[in-house]
Structure 1
Amino acid sequence: MTEQNEPATFEETKSKFDSVYFYFVILFNDSINEFSYVEDCLMKLCFKTKKDAKKIAMEAHTNGKAVCFQGSMEECETVAENMTGANLTVVLGV
C-alpha cells in the first residue's frame, strides 16, 4: 500500500478497477435471428426485463451493436458463452 502523499502505481490502480464491473458483453445485429428470439435470449441469458431486452435489441438492430451485459470478467465470459451457444454474435469488451 502506498503512503498518503505518494501517488498510486498503475498496478495498484489496475487491480482496484479489475475488481469492479468494468467488463461488457456486446451484442451484434444479425440478419438470421428474429427480434423476438433475441429479446427472449436477452431476458433469459442476460437477466434483462422485457422492456430492457426490447431496448437493447432495438439498439443492436439500429446501431449494429449494443452492450447487453456488464459484470465481472467471469460473469461476462459465461454470458458470452451462453449467448454464442444460442447462435447470437457477441464479443467481450473492457
Structure 2
Amino acid sequence: MNQNPSEKTIIEDETKESFQNIYFSKVILFNDLVNDFGHVEDCLMKICFKSKKEAKKISLEAHNNGKAICFVGSLEECETVAEKLSAEHLTVSINS
C-alpha cells in the first residue's frame, strides 16, 4: 500500500496525538477573582516546577482566556499536582 507523503504525515500526527493522550493528562488552571498573581505564580513554581517566566505566562493566559494548562504528566502525577494546587485555593481540573 503506497501512501502519498501528506497522508503519511496526517496518520503519523494522529497516531502521535493518540499516543500522547493515552499516557498524559493535563492540569487546567482556571482564572478566579480571589488569588493574586504573586500567589498563583508562586504555586506554579513550587508545585508545577515552572520557572518564574513560565509561571507568569501561565498566570496571564488563565487571566486573559479563563483557563490555561499548567501541568502535563501521568494521571497520577496530575492528581497529585491538582490536589496541591486546590489546597492552595486555586481552581483546577484534570483533562485526560
Q: TM-score range by the shorter chain?
A: 0.7 to 0.9
Structure 1, unmatched stretches of 5+, are 1-13
Aligned partner of 2:86 in structure 1 is 84
Q: Which protein has the bigger helix share?
A: 2
SS in 2 for 1:26: strand
Q: CA, structure 1 residues 35+17, in 2 after alignment: closer, same or farther (shift >3 Å)?
A: closer
User: What percentage of aligned pairs have identical amino acids?
Assistant: 59
Shift of residue 46, structure 1, vs aligned partner: 0.4
Q: What's the TM-score, normalizing by structure 1?
A: 0.79
- Taking only aligned residues, the RMSD between alpha carbons, in angstroms, comes to 1.7
Give the 4+ runs in structure 1 shifted more than 6 A. none
Instruction: Give the length in aligned residue pairs.
Output: 79
Q: What's the TM-score, normalizing by structure 2?
A: 0.77
Shift of residue 68, structure 1, vs aligned partner: 0.1
Aligned partner of 2:51 in structure 1 is 49
